[in-house]
Structure 1
């Protein structure tokens, strides 16, 4: 049995929050560079270059990539041979978010849903747990901005809608979003489970390294097909037209009921801010 003090968790979460807001992942920057070379629109090329320059300046000045520093979302794997002393894991994570957003001078965007009172420290976080074998804790963090989150959608398809129904719904969701989610976007798709599980795995899909396809060949091909259709929409970088409306489509699946085919589309802006650590 391994004992981990909750302060260790808090410090790591604090670091993840502060770094993710400032340092855009190399997977995202590489994808932008690639799309600059292939983008058909000169305006689109220019916008992609600006996004890359924005990321460079954010790193150089240690200021956030975007004014929307997001709602804190975590996927946490907890080893069954770990004991956390001090605060609970949830308390430790939320303390880390509070300290990271406060000490990092990051915008506090979290409010109560009805009376809209700000919580003042960007807590509480949204935390998804998975308990696994081993004596480690793996923490994945994403700062989820709501310009793109608001463009997300869930649909309870009929099994008879099949693959074509899935493709149609995903492409229509991106089309309806237009320029609002600050394209080029990253599209997380959840297929299966219940309505809540479907949305959870759509979010999880956004944590995947940008452009890395599913290990399942059929699903990987579906990702490519949907991305191709999305990029035919012509929305382009920041909505000014072009052949790069989305950088990637990531699909996660989960077994579902014989009567159902839930599909969730979780839209992310170009700044796919995710960081991870293992304790």
Structure 2
């Protein structure tokens, strides 16, 4: 299947706008679960305010949050797809720029030294574009994630000693959640990357933090640790917006990779309560949008 790059550009634009305006159903269901179990009156009110914000934003066709974030596009290319990889990346970048200029959106992206803002949501190596391949014929998927600074600023890496074992993982994750406090706009999704190298662990943590709520780690030991840490994190009392309560996180989600016998990399990346994302799927039948 040959991919029309103009349609890719249009989709990249549409996805940025959709992600900023409509919260995925799994996140809304996560709010419902937390609201049903929250016992602290202040936390109940804060969760109610968050739910009102979501409803008003969608009813009035406005943004869920003023922070348009750093734009991330995850591209998955299926078997039999014909395209120019470099041209694909340029099409995604043009779509990102168009969303910012034409909608218009506030550009949150600046040069790291001069702090100059080109007002395109683009810069050196931004948008962040990840390309992977999937074993599905005639299918191209583009996922868009606007990663806000409140969550991204709370990113952590520890090269633990293997002899410390799982206890080191648990302690580090708990310490990170406590250090983040209310700065990540909880309830959060706590993404944990285990293994690999330092850079791979950080990438895995980001993947875990932006995974669909309700999904579980494909590794059974990782899935068991997810459940343990999710329970432990919500016993810390941080609560919504750091004001106390039972609802510190929607979940702790883990991705892992093999690592060296003398290493135990642990990375944590968090997603705020406005866990935004949108997806476009290209098939022979056309382009469809979802989450």
1:46 match: 45
Check the 8 A contact 1:101/1:108 in 2, yes or no.
yes
Equivalent position SS for 2:207: helix
Distance 2:151 2:211 in 1: 17
Q: Unpaired runs of 5+ in structure 1?
A: none
1:231 match: 234
Check the 8 A contact 1:3/1:85 in 2, yes or no.
no
1:188-199 mapped onto 2 (5 Å cutoff): 188-199=191-202
1:216 match: 219
Number of equivalences: 278
1:39-93 C-alpha deviation (Å, 9 max, x unpaired): 1101101111111110011101111101111111122112352222697111011
Distance 1:158 1:86 in 2: 40
TM-superposed deviation, 1:146? 0.5
Distance 2:27 2:85 in 1: 37
1:277 pairs with one of 262, 275, 280: 280
Compare 223-232 and 83-92 and name the one that shifted more. Answer: 83-92
Check the 8 A contact 1:205/1:251 in 2, yes or no.
yes
Q: Segments of 4+ in structure 1 off by > 4 A?
A: none
Distance 2:201 2:130 in 1: 13
Give the 3 Å change call, closer, same or farther, for CA 35–103 of structure 1 in structure 2.
same
2:141 match: 138
Q: Structure 1 length as normaliser, TM-score?
A: 0.95
Distance 1:209 1:34 in 2: 15
1:76-134 C-alpha deviation (Å, 9 max, x unpaired): 11235222269711101111111122222222000111111113110121111113443
2:289 match: none
Check the 8 A contact 1:70/1:146 in 2, yes or no.
yes
Check the 8 A contact 2:184/2:270 in 1, yes or no.
yes
TM-superposed deviation, 1:15? 1.2
TM-superposed deviation, 1:211? 3.1
1:2-151 mapped onto 2 (5 Å cutoff): 2-84=1-83, 88-123=87-122, 124-133=126-135, 134-151=137-154
2:184 pairs with one of 181, 184, 198: 181
